[in-house]
Structure 1
Amino acid sequence: LISFVDFAPTVLGLVGVESPGYMQGLPFIGPDSDIERKYVHGNRDRVDEVFDCSRSVRNKRWLYIRNYNPHLSWSQPSVFSDLGEIRHEISQKYNQNIDAATKAQKHFSSANKPIEELYDCDADPNNVRNLISTNLSKETSEILSTLRKELIDYRESVGDLGALPESEMRRWVKTEGSPMRDIVIGNTDHSPNLKRAWAAADRVGSKNSKQLLKLLKNGNVNERYWAAISLRNGFFDDVNMHQNVSEWMNDVAPSVRIEIAAWLACFPDQREVALDRLVEDLGHSDWAVALQACRAIELLGPKAKRVLEPMKRIYAKTRNEPGDNNFFIAFSSGAFLDKLGEKTVPWDFTPGAGSFMPPKKKK
């Protein structure tokens, strides 16, 4: 088993340099390569405009995946990826004839994904048969328990920040005046409680509405964020729950109120207020907040057509401005406009094309 983090210590060892203590990898050739890796860990978080949070652990035979955003597809729309022929064809073929899709195709392309996944990589090398949904043998149940524990132990050992909303991390950095890593290891006056944040994230999949509502009411910002996601996944169509959580569209934390608004905007009786909330955060001074709101509107598609003009404005504002923050917001707002049949500037990422910088004026 080889992990991506193994490459750096391997190269350092080959040139005779000792690896720093903070490196997590193990050399797989050269000096000190006799230590055999037992597990490989993986993670999925935001990439460009696409939000997600999943963690995985793999040994030689078994792969376990924990999805913390099961309401989001494995095949979310992604401007850069969708420009590729393979991704474009997968999405196109699936959407043209959903009923004819195989179970494996639906698993990848459907609107949501399982909370947990377990694959026997020897018997199922393509990972298309999720054993979580089957009657597990005693032996397989024990393997599942072992992998669940390993996933938790590892994220604690490395200080995995994935349970913290990005806008909250940016707030911490600004308040403490230090990099996030220094903050979480206690080198500043205050730091977030990662263990509590992950414990809240682990509630995704829970059907205990009383506990989740209590967490939404009384928890810290990270706990409220995960309570919102848990309630959305567990009680998406519950009209009474919509009423119970609607006041959190005014939560002081942008990450919380955006998640609640994105959920409630799916329903006509809550849509107007929810869209107003999302539009307000679309103009937030922190680009991470604006991006979260923009992506929520994008995924709503035609349901959010009332906010077409604000999305046009933010697209015009960011499309030709440098910086990753503008890049991602332009991706998302442009995709929304495309979906509604509005005119946008095509993306061109060929070398020298200057895809999101304005063309030079002719002399």
Structure 2
Amino acid sequence: MKRWILCVVTMLLQYSIVAQSRPNMLWVVIEDTSPEYIGCYGNEVVNTPHIDSLASIGVRFRNAYSTGTVCSPSRSAIITGVKTYKTGTGDHRSSAPLPDQIRGFPAWLRESGYYTSNNSKTDYNTSSANRLIRESWNESSNAAGWWNRAPGQPFFSVFNFGASHQSRTMTNPYDLYQKQVLDQLPDHLKVADDDFEMPPYYKDSPEMRKQMARVYNGVSLADYEIGMVLDRLKADGLTDSTIVFFYADHGEGMPGIKTNGSGQGYRVPFVISVPEMYGHLSPWGAGTVTDQMVSFVDLAPTLLSLAEVTIPDYLDGRAFMGVDTSSEPTYLFVSNDRAEGSPSLDRAVIDGSWIYIRSFMPYSHPMRWIHYIMYGEISQQMYRDFNTGQLDDAQAQMLQPRPYEALFNLREDPYEQFNLVSQHPERVIRMRSALLAHMVDERDVHLVPEMDLKKLSDHISPYELRKSDTINWSLLVEVAALSGLQDNDAVQQQLAYLSHQNPWVRYWAAIGLKAQKNLSWKQIKQIRDYRTDTCLPVQVYLEGILHDHGDESAVQYFIEALSSEDQERVKLSLHLLQYSRHKEDLLSEVKDLFEKASSRRGWSAIKQGADVLIYRITGEPLHMETFW
């Protein structure tokens, strides 16, 4: 008994000593919010006094970026410290496994003596999530917090606030938003429909203002809830010993931003408040603003550096605070991939406030035809306004095919209204070259079709697959980079690649041909020769192209595809029909699919995808009740 008491006393003394030299660390994380909707970033209408207060005594980052534009890939990169195009977790709601060597970074804090708690979102986007949670957290629940640690034990605590999430700001029905947000927000913090300026890419109408006000009130409520956590920190006497990080998990959760590879989707508000006790660990003084570039893969090494824990070599980021810092990189690289049933592959390279964006599937548009977007009243209003010709050119761009490459200065043009590709050719060449070289060097695993990546994941993790020398990553990038080029030379190369022995090369050739705006009948005839490709994604894309050009056999192909029991084939077929010129040809079959999927477990994504397609063909109301 005496020995046990001695061990406990010794442990508590160790925690006390460590606490004196190592900081407590607190994350307060909101969802789906761009800097333009935070007070300390210049918005004078939103009510964010607690976030603004942290900035007034801390450091505010003007060039902080999420690694993705939707929540689960973003959280995958945060918890692992590894880019999603290396782990294969870039597709929203994926089940890609991680090798055992990749851990949740809080595991190293925990093993070094920290009490780690998560309240309470995980959403790590991998089949290895349970292992990450188990290794990372002493507690992960709605009741988790620093208050459950041993006396004197240093802590790392995370709190996530969902009031600003896209579900509240646009997707949930308005009456549910009232219950979840307005009824919870004190009257003096509420923002009215006519209090703010509309972003230029949304029509300034009463209907749209009613929806945009949801963003302001969601962010205001999130700040109000952050205040409760900070009040408890103060009441527990821990403010002077705790470094507080505030950030959003990615940019604004509104049409054309979330799930879209835009600068506003990547750029996030990011503030760190460091108490005087630990001022030596920060290169910035109180109340400062920095242009230093940081991204979410920098969080893991930075927290390990602050805690004086050895940083694993495989982490992609760098520590920008603490005892083991690294210099700022020349560029940041970020990515956006599939969301819901909508494939995508967008990559961007960032140089301060400059962002070069490359869309490898430019036949789609920024808003994207996915149910989670279209179920929002604001999206339906935009679609009605677009169809009735009520949108100006800037607003209509949300529902038109995007440029395959874009260059923006986010400091001068935060809403990305002016594509500067033609004005800065040397910068474009430099940043484009850096991006494509990075994709080759890092072996961007999402160049592999998702269907194949899933099958291969039964035997090898995507992270390990990248190491295979049998895959010609340089060629895959070369063929993918043809997508969007609108010239005959690009078409001829894409047609030639349809006969390549590697199915993934053929896949990118087919996507590039889908993005071509003007194919001749001779070229269409050549595509018909390859329509029986043994690689299913290639086959579906080629049939989609033929369907665009009135091929009757393609209609029959999609009739059969929509009745298939292969969910992946059905999902991809629905996606191609969303962007088809003749989608109305399949209305009866899509309606049958909706009914079939409605009665089947595990077919909800197909049901909702069919629902959106029916809505777009007929204008019939969406079946939103099936979503809720």
Q: What TM-score do you get using the length of structure 2 for normalisation? A: 0.49
**1:246 and 2:528 are equivalent in the alignment:** yes
Partner SS for 1:229: helix
- Per-residue displacement from partner, 1:176-220 (whole Å, max 9, x unpaired)? x2222222213xxx8533222111101121531332221112352
In structure 1, what is the Cα distance between the partners aligned to 2:315 and 2:560? 42
Provide the C-alpha distance between the structure 1 equivalents of 2:583 and 2:412, rounded to a whole number of angstroms.
Answer: 44
Kindly indicate whether residue 411 of structure 2 is the aligned counterpart of residue 108 of structure 1. no
1:60 counterpart (337, 341, 352): 352
Closer, same or farther: CA 282–179 of 1 in aligned 2, 3 Å: farther
Structure 1 residue 249 displacement after superposition? 2.1
- Picking from 328, 334, 341, the partner of 2:611 is 334
Quick check: 1:168 aligned with 2:447?
no
The correspondence of residues 343-358 of structure 1 with structure 2, limited to 5 A, is 345-347=623-625, 355=628
Output the amino acid matched with 1:336: L
**Structure 1 unmatched runs, 5+:** 350-354, 356-363
Aligned positions, number: 332
Residue in structure 1 matched with residue 594 of structure 2 by the alignment: 315
Q: Distance in 1 between the 2:613 and 2:600 partners?
A: 19
Indicate the SS of the match to 2:357.
Answer: strand
Given the alignment of the two structures, is residue 280 of structure 1 paired with residue 280 of structure 2, yes or no? Answer: no
Unaligned runs of 5+ in 2: 1-292
CA separation in 2, counterparts of 1:31 and 1:89? 52
Contact 1:41–1:55 (CA<8 Å) still a contact in 2? yes
Please give the alpha-carbon distance, in whole angstroms, between the structure 2 residues aligned to 1:77 and 1:185. 34
In structure 2, C-alpha distance between the alignment counterparts of 1:344 and 1:119, rounded to whole Å:
35
Counterpart contact for 1:200–1:223, Cα < 8 Å: yes
AA partner of residue 67 (structure 1): S
Aligned to 1:290: 570
- Report the secondary structure of 2:606's partner residue: helix
Question: What is aligned with 1:210?
Answer: 492
**Structure 1 counterpart of 2:503:** 221
> How far did residue 113 of structure 1 move?
1.2
1:92-241 aligned within 5 A:
92-97=384-389, 100-102=391-393, 104-110=394-400, 112-132=401-421, 134=422, 136=423, 140-174=424-458, 177-186=459-468, 191-204=470-483, 205=485, 206-208=487-489, 209-234=491-516, 236-241=518-523
Q: Secondary structure at the residue paired with 2:317?
A: coil
The match for 1:46 among 320, 338, 351 is: 338
Q: 1:276 to 1:23 in 2, by over 3 A?
A: farther
Q: Which residue of 2 aligns with 1:359?
A: none
- CA deviation string 1:59-90 (max 9, x = no partner): 11321111111111112222112233444443
Distance 1:241 1:293 in 2: 22
**Number of the residue aligned with 1:6:** 298
Q: 1:320 to 1:20 in 2, by over 3 A?
A: farther
Cα distance in 2, alignment partners of residues 275 and 256 from structure 1: 17
Give the secondary structure class of the aligned counterpart of 2:445: coil
Structure 1: distance between partners of 2:512 and 2:347:
17
Give the secondary-structure state (helix, strand or coil) at the position aligned to 2:313: coil
Q: Is the 8 A contact 2:494 2:512 kept in 1?
A: yes
Give the aligned residue type for 1:330.
K
Greater shift after overlay, 89-98 or 114-123? 89-98
| Contact 2:318–2:325 (CA under 8 A) maintained in structure 1 | yes
CA deviations over 1:12-38 (Å, ceiling 9, x no partner) = 333443333222122333333452243
Q: Which structure's residues are more often helix, by fraction?
A: 1
Specify the alignment match of 1:263 in structure 2.
545
- The answer to which of 46-55 and 85-94 deviates more is 85-94
Does structure 2 retain, via aligned residues, the 8 Å contact 1:266–1:300?
yes
* Percent sequence identity over aligned pairs: 22
Deviation at residue 331 of structure 1 after TM alignment: 1.9
Which one-letter code corresponds to 2:598 in the other structure? R
Q: CA contact under 8 A between 1:295 and 1:333: conserved in structure 2?
A: no
The Cα offsets for residues 266-300 of structure 1, whole Å up to 9 and x where unpaired, read as 233x1x21122233334555533321112222433
Cα contact 1:183–1:191 (8 A) shared by 2: no
- Residues in 2 aligned to 1:243 and 1:254: alpha-carbon distance in whole angstroms: 20
TM-score normalized with structure 1 length: 0.81
CA contact (8 A) 1:254 1:281 kept: no
Superposition deviation, residue 322 in structure 1: 4.7
Query: 1:231–1:338: structure 2 CA closer, same or farther, 3 Å change rule?
Result: closer
Q: Tell me how far apart the structure 2 counterparts of residues 344 and 141 of structure 1 sit (CA, whole Å).
A: 44
State the alpha-carbon separation in 2 of the partners of residues 141 and 296 from structure 1: 33
SS class of match (1:2): strand
Q: Deviations over 1:118-149 (max 9, x none)?
A: 123344333211122x3x4xxx3332222112
Query: How far apart are 1:343 and its partner, in Å?
Result: 7.7
1:297 maps to a residue whose letter is: L
Q: What amino acid is the match of 1:185? A: K
Matched letter for residue 429 of structure 2: S
Conservation of the 8 A alpha-carbon contact between 1:197 and 1:223? yes
